[in-house]
Amino acid sequence: MRNTITHGREYLETTLNQTLSQGNKIFVPYVMAGDGGLDQLIPNLKFLSEEGATAIELGIPFSDPVADGPTIQEAGKRALEQNVTLKSVIELLKQERYQIDAPIIFMTYINPIFKYGIENFIKDAQEAGVDGLIIPDLPFEQQVLISNHLNEAGIALIQLVSLTSSKKRIKQLAEASQGFTYAITVNGITGARSNFAKDLEAHLSQLQEFSSAPVLAGFGISSPEHVEQMGNMADGVIVGSKIIELLQDNDTDSIKRLIESSKAK
């Protein structure tokens, strides 16, 4: 063992709560595994972790990413062209996970996991130091497919809550969420936007009320101003498409500014 961290739900939750207790907001960048080649992955994760990302959402490329907008679709396509698979990402992390302190949350569509074999996947994910999972196309009612195995392995299953969900549904999802509750801030798919719905604040405060875990806002967040604006309504943010663009442009300064905007002034 190169370090003593036990990865999983507990590590994720402890890390998020620590950030909040220091008066900072949570900042979770999204990276597409294998965009720019799998060689780029560990250096990118290391950079984000060292610059103060609270946790990192790691996207697994999929042929049919229905929840994603053009930026993440293109990133996934570039990764698939490099033959990056769920398996190759896991194998890499088994070797190199120790270099990255931040909790890692896999964001993957269900089919690559299903094809991998659910039990095999969870065993390997545990060995690779995966702390949490986001599966955008696995509805709450169907999560029994994987949730018992995840609970046993101590890996968090994060729930996505949409703006259009009923109060009852919001409550159900927020109560079930582990690690954090992922509040989708727009109707639609991932990608940078300039405006948010007017009733977002009421929606987020309702979520805060129901959710024992921190509530993070995601989808469409792309500037330090957005990060601060969301920070007033939620416990933190997830930034995806914008991080992918900035990594592609090698614009590390702008990434630092985004992360910085989540910290206490």
From 112, 218, 220, 240, residue interacting with other proteins (rule: CB under 8 A):
112
Under the binding rule (CB under 8 A), the answer on residue 106 touching other proteins is no
Binding-site size, other proteins (CB under 8 A): 27
Helices (H), 97-211: 110-116, 118-127, 147-153, 167-176, 200-210
* 228 given a catalytic annotation: no
Whose tokens are 């029994």? That residue is 144
Report in angstroms how near the CB of residue 30 gets to other proteins at its nearest. Answer: 18
Under the binding rule (CB under 8 A), the answer on residue 81 touching other proteins is no
Whose tokens are 């809550």? That residue is 161
CA-closest candidate to residue 51, choices 28, 75, 33: 28
168 contact partners, CB below 8 Å, separation of at least 6? none
Structure tokens at 38: 């799998």
Q: Which stretch binds other proteins (CB under 8 A): 7-15, 112-120, 207-215, 227-235?
A: 112-120
Under the binding rule (CB under 8 A), the answer on residue 164 touching other proteins is yes
Closer to other proteins by Cβ: residue 12 or 89: 89
Among the listed residues 10, 35, 50, 68, the single catalytic one is 68
Q: Which helix (H) or strand (E) holds 32?
A: strand 26-32
User: What does the per-residue mask of binding to other proteins show for 35-74, with x meaning CB under 8 A?
Assistant: ---------------------------xxxxxx-x---x-
* 35 given a catalytic annotation: no
How far apart CA 162 and CA 169 sit, in angstroms, is 10
Tell me how many helices (H) and strands (E) the chain has: 12, 9
Closer to other proteins by Cβ: residue 88 or 254: 88
Tell me the catalytic residues.
57, 68
